[in-house]
Amino acid sequence: MSKKGKKVRPEGTLGIITGAGMMGAILLAGLLIPWFGKYDANEISSDQLLSPGGTHYFGTDMLGRDVFTRVFDAVFVDIGTAFAGVLIPLTVGTIVGTLLGISRNRRVNSFIGSLIDGINAFPFLIFVIALVSFLGAGLSSIILALSLVNWARYARIARTRAVVVNQQGYVEAARTLGYKPTRILFRHIIPNVSSETRAYALSDFTIVIIAVAALSFLGLGVNPPQAEWGAMIKDGANIITLAWWTAVFPGLAICWAGISVAIFSEGLTKRIGEGSQQ
Amino acid sequence: MTSDVKLLDINNVAIGIERRKRETLVLVREANFDVNYGEMVGIVGESGSGKTMICRSIIGTLERRGASVIGGEVLFEGLDLRTINEAKWKTLRGKVIGYVPQSALAGPNPVLTIEKQLAEALSQVEGTGSMKNRSKELLDLVKIRRVDTVMKQYPYQLSGGMRQRVMIACALASKPKLLIADEPTTGLDVTVQSQIMELLREIRRDLGTAIILISHDLALVDEVCDKIVVMHAGATVEVGPTSSMATPRHPYTVALNSSRIDVAKPGGELLTIKGNPPSVGQWNPGCRFAERCDFVQQDCLVGEHPALSGSKGEHQSACLHADKIGKI
Amino acid sequence: MSKRDILMEVENVSVTFGSGATAVEAVKNCSLTLNEGEPIGIVGESGSGKSTLARVMAGLQPPSAGEIRFRGDNVFKGNKSFQSGNRNQVQMVFQDPYGSLNPQLTGLSAVAEAVRIHTKVGKDESEQKALELLERMGIGKLDALKRPRQLSGGQRQRVSVARALSANPTVLLADEPTSAIDQSAQAQLLKLFLGLLNDGLAIVLVSHDLGVIRYLTKRVYVMKDGVFVESGDTETVFNDPQEDYTKMLLASIPGELGKAARAKLNR
């Protein structure tokens, strides 16, 4: 029975709006600034290592490129890669984990189950780094490596949840009502399993953004001259005492992206949490 | 010989959740009843009637849920429970006031053996003899046979009924003056239910413990309690000795009585209460039962919720037209 | 006044879980019949096997031995089995109102989905039909648009019944439908079932509460440890129980019925 009184703004809305707003802002900037900005992101000039001010809001780097433009030029690269690196494992992991959870085939269950447990046993970042080194540097390698490693984490969550969901009354009811197995799987089981994996995805996103930047920092990411936060930090780290702005601003961008997702997911949790406290 | 100090006196109690930047959500308003020493009182109501909130105010667990007593007095042996601090609560809760939770919800700690659970409960109390013997005595008290086997088992190895008995045993460890049993048999088989009711009766008889039995089942409460308190939408709408409650004087009780399965003719007319209990915070002015009432009059729809007539100890009703109802 | 047609037959059904040393026989060689439009009850305590039997009858689980027949056809084998499409005729309502509805669907969506699958109508028509069904169950339009967590236990049960009815079944199996809800909600649900009986639906009521069984059913099977210890007309079993177990069950009913039974026992 609902215990809500007059509908005042529900809890968590502030977080949802803030988080979404922050992410939206940086995405918008990533769209507009490289297009309409004064400078080209890869335009080399002789104004090297200028400190922030004047027309170069974030200063310039070693090659005279405008840091401001570069930071926002990297938005879709970094966030886009992170997005793909979460979406693919989320989808694959949820489906595989669910199928595993509802399957009665012991052999398949133990084989894939062991595979999942095996992959999960490795520390995430190290495994990804190793894979990317093996596959060769580049964004597509990063996405591939992330997918190959991360799907197992989602699959584990999905499998446990699927076992529970499968035993729930509404799934049994769907069977008695004669619904086709595909309908039961996609309309009833997966949505209720993915509520958990999607929650995990939100927190995973922050980690993946950092992982993408870290890989680039290690030189395993994009090829120059494409702007990318991790690579920018790597270049800037060497001269941090001379020109702090070359490393700090890309770092702040990573923080902004990560924090926006964190705030959003907190707000979402509060919102859902309030509703389920009956 | 009547004692002036009642064991428990609930006086016009209101309970609410104070929220930032919003008005307080009132969960209970005008709850009124008392419990004498050694008495068995049944509190009947639907979900959301406030019956569980009241019992939380008696054992002091309202704060944990963000709620507090916002009006009236909760007097335990004359002491206003609103005014005491956590240190004082610790001397009451689990010692003088015992609590048995709903069977479906909580239960013994799943990772402790029964022996350890009982030892934990007993460690709060002084007693003679070894912990083991005292534990066995407790299990005896709740009529558990094969005491030695059960002591070594984990909760998951016991049936629902047995688990409830263990919970009752833990609550009785301190020989409390008041035991609150919150829907102790909901979800359990009727056979187990009748055994547990019998157990509560014996405890009351042998130990003199006053018992508050919270339930949604009027038939059950009718059978075992001395006094019945009926709650609806956060208010006490009727209260009185069980014998007198056989002729109810509030339309809600009349309706509850008429919807009892045990008195219905097989396959015959089964009267139900129309509508649903009002959601918390969405109470209309006037009597909160008015929308669902078969005898509603114009004056029922305005003003404050009707107060209970008469005084404590008598058969009281919060219906403006109680005398007419009583004649049905 | 002809004898009603036999709708379902349970013949020498046994259900065993596990194998070898840890095998548990939940149902041992049980047989029963259900006639058209008839209400019967299966009563027993937890662990008696009654829920397992209900699930076997609903076609959710095959028996280890014996046969279940619906209108003469084997429910699990052959081309008239439930697998091959005869599914709709026997529907089930479960005990736990909190798990029986998809938490992500509103009552309306859940019932409309069922209507669509069974009658192949369009979305709007299915929603219309769903609203009607829910109305019959006492769930108004406002409540129909709520998600399960905003509904009370009794309301959730009624949504489950509406969903089951959208398949237009001839048999409704109800496994302890009233155990987890308030007394007043119980009364509403039972009154509903009575109405359905009057519409010609056959109901199998599984419960541990003989009071509920007595109100609704015409015949009852008393189950203990997987076996039927007594069976017969409900009225007869109530007034003249033969087995000690039945007598004990009767004595445990809260309220007047139990009192009467206990008085008889002590005589």
Residues on chain A touching B21 (C-beta within 8 angstroms): 8
| A75: pLDDT strictly greater than 60 | yes
Q: Is the CB of C152 less than 8 angstroms away from the CB of A1?
A: yes
Q: C83 to chain A nearest CA, in Å? A: 8
Secondary structure of residue A232 in the 3-state scheme = helix
Distance CA C150, CA C156 (A): 9
Q: What mean pLDDT is reported for chain A?
A: 86
Quick one: DSSP state of residue B278? P
pTM of the predicted model, to two decimals? 0.82
Q: Is the pLDDT of residue A8 over 60?
A: no
| Residue A114, φ and ψ in degrees, nearest 5 | -65, -40
Residues of B in contact with C212 (CB under 8 A): 261
Distance from CA of B280 to the nearest CA of A (A): 5
- Candidates C202, C192, C197; CA nearest to C158 is C192
Mean pLDDT across chain B: 85
pLDDT tops 70 at residue A277: no
Q: Which residue has the higher pLDDT, B65 or B105?
A: B65
C-alpha–C-alpha distance, residues A24 and A159, integer Å: 33
**Mutation for B interface: C184, C223, C224, C249, most B CBs within 10 A:** C184
Q: Does C215 touch chain B (CB under 8 A)?
A: yes
Q: What is the mean pLDDT of chain C?
A: 87
CB contact under 8 A, A3 and B280: yes
- Check A8 against B277: CB less than 8 A apart: no
**B 14-33 residues with CB below 8 A of C?**
none
Quickly state the pLDDT bin for B276 (edges 50, 70, 90).
Answer: confident
Average pLDDT of span B150-155: 89
Predicted pLDDT at A58? 86
The answer to whether the CB atoms of A3 and B22 lie below 8 A apart is no
Taking each helix axis as running N to C, give the angle between helix C153-165 and helix C107-119, from 0 to 180 degrees, rounded to the nearest 10. 10
Q: What is the model's pLDDT at position A236? A: 87
**Average pLDDT, integer, range C59-83:** 83
- Nearest CA to C194 out of C182, C210, C209, C205 is that of C205
CB of B198 within 8 Å of any CB in chain C? no
Percent of chain C scoring above 70 in pLDDT = 96
Answer yes or no: is pLDDT of A101 > 60: yes
For residue C102, the model assigns a pLDDT of: 92
Cβ count within 10 A of residue B58: 22
If you average pLDDT over residues C12-37, what whole number do you get?
Answer: 89
Query: What residues of chain A lie within 8 A of the CB of C100, using their CB?
Result: 168-170, 173
Q: How many CB atoms lie within 10 A of CB B130?
A: 9
Q: For this complex, say whether ipTM is above 0.85.
A: no
pLDDT for position B71: 87
Contact B189, C45 (CB under 8 A): yes
Q: pLDDT band at residue B328, thresholds of 50, 70 and 90?
A: low
What count of other Cβ atoms lies within 10 Å of the Cβ of residue A223?
A: 10
Which residues fall within 8 angstroms of residue C232, CB to CB, at 6 or more apart? C219, C220
- pLDDT higher than 90, residue A159: yes
Q: Provide the pLDDT for residue A1.
A: 37
Query: How many interface pairs between B and C have CB atoms less than 8 angstroms apart?
Result: 110
Whether the pLDDT of residue B195 is over 80: the answer is: yes
- Tell me the average pLDDT across C154-179: 91
According to the model, what pLDDT value does residue C184 have? 82
- Which residues from chain B sit within 8 angstroms of residue A6, using beta carbons? 22-23, 281
Interface contact flag, B223 C254, Cβ < 8 Å: yes
Q: Does residue A136 register a pLDDT over 90?
A: no
- pLDDT tops 90 at residue C187: no
Look at B39-53, B98-112, C43-57, C168-182 and tell me which has the smallest mean pLDDT. B98-112
Would the CB atoms of C235 and B266 count as touching at under 8 Å?
yes
- Work out the average pLDDT over C239-243: 89
Q: Is the pLDDT of residue A109 over 60?
A: yes
Confidence label for A22 from pLDDT (cuts 50, 70 and 90): very high
User: In sequence order, what DSSP letters do the residues of chain C get, joined into one string?
Assistant: -PPPPEEEEEEEEEEEES-GGG-EEEEEEEEEEEETT-EEEEE--TTSSHHHHHHHHTTSS--SEEEEEETTEESSSSTTSTTTTGGGGEEEE-S-TTTSS-TTS-HHHHHHHHHHHHH---HHHHHHHHHHHHHHTT--HHHHTS-GGGS-HHHHHHHHHHHHHTT--SEEEEESTTTTS-HHHHHHHHHHHHHHHHTT-EEEEEES-HHHHHHH-SEEEEEETTEEEEEEEHHHHHHS--SHHHHHHHHTSSSHHHHHHHHHHH-
Residue-level pLDDT at B245:
87
Q: Is the pLDDT of residue A6 over 50?
A: no
What is residue C4's predicted lDDT score, i.e. its pLDDT?
A: 66
Residue with tokens 């335990």: B76
- Name the minimum distance, in Å, from the CA of A2 to any CA of chain B: 6
Q: Which residue has the higher pLDDT, B105 or A25?
A: A25
Determine which of A2-16, A51-65, B236-250 has the lowest per-residue pLDDT on average.
Answer: A2-16
CA distance A200 to chain B (A): 27
- As a whole number, mean pLDDT of residues C180-201 equals 88
In this predicted structure, the answer to whether residue C267 has a pLDDT above a threshold of 70 is: no
Residue of C198, C114, C207 whose CA lies nearest to C161: C114
CA pair distance C14, A41, nearest whole angstrom:
76
Contacts of A179 in chain C (CB under 8 A): 117
pLDDT: which is higher, C40 or B92: C40
The DSSP element (H or E) to which A33 belongs, if any, is helix A13-36
More confident residue, C254 or C45: C45
Cross-chain residue pair C208–B189, CB shorter than 8 Å: yes
C260 touches chain B (CB under 8 A): no
Query: Coil, helix or strand for A54?
Result: coil
Question: CA of C32: how far to CAs of C6, C8, C207, in Å?
Answer: 11, 8, 16
Is a pLDDT exceeding 50 seen at residue A275? no
In the DSSP assignment, the letter for residue B178 is E
> Could you give the CA distance from residue A220 to residue C171 in angstroms, rounded to a whole number?
65
Which pLDDT belongs to residue C160?
Answer: 93
Q: Is the pLDDT of residue B174 over 80?
A: yes
Angle, CA A250 vertex, CA A248 and CA A251 arms, to 5°: 60
Please give the pLDDT value at position C1: 37
Subunit partners of chain C (3 or more CB pairs within 8 A)? A, B
Q: Give the model confidence (pLDDT) of A160-190 as tens digits.
A: 999 999 988 899 888 888 888 898 999 999 9
Give chain B positions within 8 Å (CB) of A5. Answer: 22-23, 25, 280-282
